[in-house]
Amino acid sequence: MKIFLDTADAETVRKAQATGLLDGVTTNPTKVAQSGRKFREVVAEICGITPGPVSAEAMGETAEQLIAEAQQIAAIAPNVVVKIPMTMAGLTAVGVLEGEKNIRVNVTMAFSSTQAYLAMKAGASYVSIVLSRLDAIANESDILIEDAVTVKQNFGFLTEIIGASLKTQNHVLSCLRAGVDVVTIPEGLFFQMFEHPLTDAALAQFAEDWEKVPK
């Protein structure tokens, strides 16, 4: 399972990239706004830090607007993937972008297995299922991602399923069990996964005992 960092902060990407375990980055309008920087500058810098795919969002409302905007975003760097909304106009744009323009697309804000199916059928490179928002309204996100993986396997789709906006390690575990292709996680969760109190306790004990060993 690939790990994408969900951020628009370049320094955070550098820190995660240095571990050798980062596979890509996703951004969204909220995170870019929080950075206080220009959109194209943020995307270009992040694309220069990680060789993996970097998702950046198109905000048009019609298929034509989304196609035009996606072409501009994709021109920023060769590893850009354009986020397209899970709407009728969005999926219409996906067919053109993936089929005619050779632009990789990440269909975002999918909240049902049937939406995920349509994104796969449209030919998207990625479809993002936003787990934390589902859990916030008491929907069982683990069942949804299991269904999405089953749909992919049943029909041989090539679209990579993204478990998006994960907030807890239990979310990560659900995605690992389901066989999800990619997860997007914030900086805090990424670095939290390296840690465990039993690891800390064992290493501290080893360090203490090592001081007693004759040198």
Structural domain boundaries enclosing 81: 2-210
CATH number of the domain to which 156 belongs: 3.20.20.70
Distance CA 45, CA 92 (A): 30
Residue at 95 is within a domain: yes
Give the CA distances from residue 158 to residues 24, 175, 177, in Å, rounded to whole numbers and listed in that order.
18, 18, 19
What are the residue numbers of the active site? 83
Q: 0.85 exceeded by the pTM? A: yes
Residue at 6 is within a domain: yes
Distance CA 215, CA 210 (A): 9
Residue at 101 is within a domain: yes
User: Per-10-residue mean pLDDT for the chain, 215 residues long?
Assistant: 97 97 95 92 97 97 98 98 98 97 96 95 96 66 90 98 92 95 96 95 93 89
Residue at 140 is within a domain: yes
The total number of structural domains that make up the chain: 1
Please, are residues 125 and 81 in contact by the beta-carbon 8 Å criterion?
A: yes
Residue at 215 is within a domain: no
Residue at 152 is within a domain: yes
Residue with tokens 């804000």: 109
